[in-house]
Structures are given as structure tokens and as C-alpha cells.
Amino acid sequence: MRVPFAVRAGSLVVAIVACAGLVGRAEPPQGGLQEALVRVWPALASFYAERVRQAGIVGSGLVVVSGGQIAAEHHEGFQDLGSRRAVDRDTIYHWASITKTLTGIAVMQLRDRGRLRLDDPVVDYIPDLRQAHNPFGDMAQVTIRQLMSHSAGFRAPTWPWGGDRPWHPFEPTRWEQLVAMLPYTELLFKPGSRYRYSNPGVIFLGRIIEQLSGDDYETYVTKNILMPLGMHRSFFDRAPYHLVSHRSHSYFRTDEGLTEARFDFDTGITVSNGGLNAPLPDMARYLAFLIGDPSRAAEYDVVLRRATLEEMFVPQLPATDGEGGSGADVSIGLSFFIERHGGVELVGHSGSQNGFLSHLYLHRPSKTGYLVAFNTEVTSKQRGDAQVTRQVDADLRDRIAAALFAPAARN
């Protein structure tokens, strides 16, 4: 790949890339943003690498996306501690709940094609849902829009017991298992009245996608989102054989030490919640699509029209810190969170599962965003039940927002 302009300091790189091979045809970052990246990236990458090492995170990757391509990146640590294989741009991370944004886009595709309306009752598509108990009225009160905005009233966990033994399935494997739970499921508040992050709600969205398309969820999203965006090394659940060697292992670190999590696991029926695995360059293609580029409108509109994407970024109701979104000023849109940090508005989503933590953010005024993935969940009771990896993620967000997004917004 031809890189006509780069700043290097040790293993960190800032590259304004001229060729289109990595993410696609695009213009390089312009003027102020390019200059800002050159100026602030060495310090940002150094801060990030130091925090990763201090926290005891085994491996991590960070990319900034601007002008439709990766403008800066840094990789730190190992994808497999046992073999000492370092992380790199080919490392495949598990993106967990960031999958929910793909599910939301799939629903909006079907909406734009006239297959559903967002305010349709979910029971029109999933009659089994009538078996759940709604103490506030009829289950027909629950709409597709409420599932997308986590306001339908369902509990947070998919499977409220088990899963803690090595012989248990990682998640329920069949739709029938969820149906069997419905008579024991009740809504916790009146649908549409407030926010509560809910994994079952997104499984129901995945079921609607399958019912209307006739495809398994994984097949539909691969055909209608991943393939059109050129995300050819992305997949759901267990890795294709030729990609297994690139899949990152994952870990839990506590005050007692480091343990390895399940490798190459299957999210089962919860795939629409959190089944996506992908390397950072593929996720950069996805983030470039979310950011948008008028010169690629025809290409991107095949996946979803820009106006529809912007509709997904409109706040629906206040959300809660630590439940999908982050910070004191956070709202839920349609499958995306809208957050304000230090006066900077960001659209994004986080992911956390099986030792992996990740975040996707886009800053619309500067048409820039970033992705970060960690393969180790670090917690410490000695530090007051500290969520160490989550704190690294939050500190990195605040640094990037202050150093890169805030100045860009002022300009």
C-alpha cells in the first residue's frame, strides 16, 4: 500500500493513505483534521498503549477512521498469550453488542422496503410473544421501535440462570428455548415509558428479520450488509477454518490472576445480540459507511439511505450510563447511543462479552470516528470493584474527544 505521508514513533503510525485498498475509494482527511492527527496522535497512541499495559490487558487495537479510510492506528500486546502471537491489523476481535447496530440496520432496510413499520406490534410478527406477561395491558403494546430503543420493558439478560459451567452452552442454542421461557417472562415497566437495556428484545428483532426475509439472521446480514461493504473477513460465531489462526483469544484478569475464556465460541440464538467477529480493517469499512461520504452515496445507499441512518441517530429517550451507553448525558436512538462528553456529541455503541470489550464512535461534525477493541476484561475488588478495562476505554474516549473531536468541531 502506498503511504505518502506518515508519522512514526516506535510502533505507532499515523498514515494518510492515498490508495483505496484498505477501506475503499475516498478522499484523505482534509486540512485541519490531517494536521490535528499528525500533531496529537503520537501522544494519544502513547497514552493508550501505556494504559493497556498498566491495566494488564493482554491485547488491543485502535483505529481512527476519516475520509473513508483508516487514518491512524495502533496495536498493542498479544492476540494469543500462550503462543506470544502479537495483535496486528489481521487480528479478529469479537464485537459483542456492537452487533446490535447491524440488527438495527437490517430492520431499517426491511422498513424502507415496505416489509414492516417501526410502530407495528411485535406480536404481529412473533405471535409466541403473547405468552409473556404484561401487567400493564396487552402484549400488542410492544412495538418494533421499542425493541430498537430498549424501551419495551424486557429484562436485561437473555438466559437468567446457568451458563456458568464449562459444559453449559455459551448461550441458548434454539429459538424453542426462548419460547419455553416466555410464560415465565413479564414486562418490568409499561412499554415505551422508559429505558432498560434488553438483550431478549434484540433477539426478537433478529427473529423478525428471519421471518420476513426467509434467511437465517447471519445469512441475511452477510448478504445485505457485510458483503456490500466489503467486510469479507467478518463472520458470526465460530470462525471459518482459514480465519481461526487470526481470531483473538480472550481473557479475564482479577486480583487472583489471569484466566483464559472460551475460544471460538458460539452465541447461539443470541447472534443478533452479539455474534459478530471481525478484524479492525473490516470494522473501519463499517464505520466509514456510518460516517458517510456524498461521493459514495450510490454505493452506501444500497445498504441504507443516509436519511434513514440519520433517523437512527435521533434520540428516542434518556438512557443509563453503563447499560450500552456511557456517561451522564446519554440517550438511546434506534440501535445507537447518542452521548455527550466534554461538550462533544458522539454516536456509538459498546460491546462486552466473554472477556472482550469494544467501542465504536463517530463524530458527525468532523466526519471522523474511531474503533477500539480489548481482549481482556480486567476487574479488581482491591480497587473498589473497579472495572479496569472499562475505565481505560472511557479515559481513551475522553482523550480522543478532547484532542481530536472538540477542536475539529470548533473549526
The domain ranges of the chain are 1-89+381-411, 92-305
How large is the angle between the packed helices 31-55 and 388-400, nearest 10 degrees? 160
Radius of gyration of the chain (CA): 21
| Res 172: pLDDT | 79
Number of residues that make up the chain: 411
Question: Is residue 9 over pLDDT 50?
Answer: no
Residue 148: φ, ψ to 5°: -70, -25
Q: What is the pLDDT of residue 244?
A: 98
Exposure on the CB side of residue 267, measured as CA atoms within 13 A: 25
Q: Is the per-residue pLDDT at 229 higher than 50?
A: yes
CA 64 to chain centre: 15
Contact present, 375 and 60 (Cβ < 8 Å): yes
CATH superfamily of domain region 92-305? DD-peptidase/beta-lactamase superfamily (3.40.710.10)
Whether pLDDT at 131 is above 60: yes
Burial 315-335 (b: 16+ CB within 10 A, else e): ebeebeeebbbbbeebbbbbb
Percent of the chain whose pLDDT exceeds 90: 81
At 162, the pLDDT band (50, 70, 90 cuts) reads low
Tell me what pLDDT residue 19 has.
35
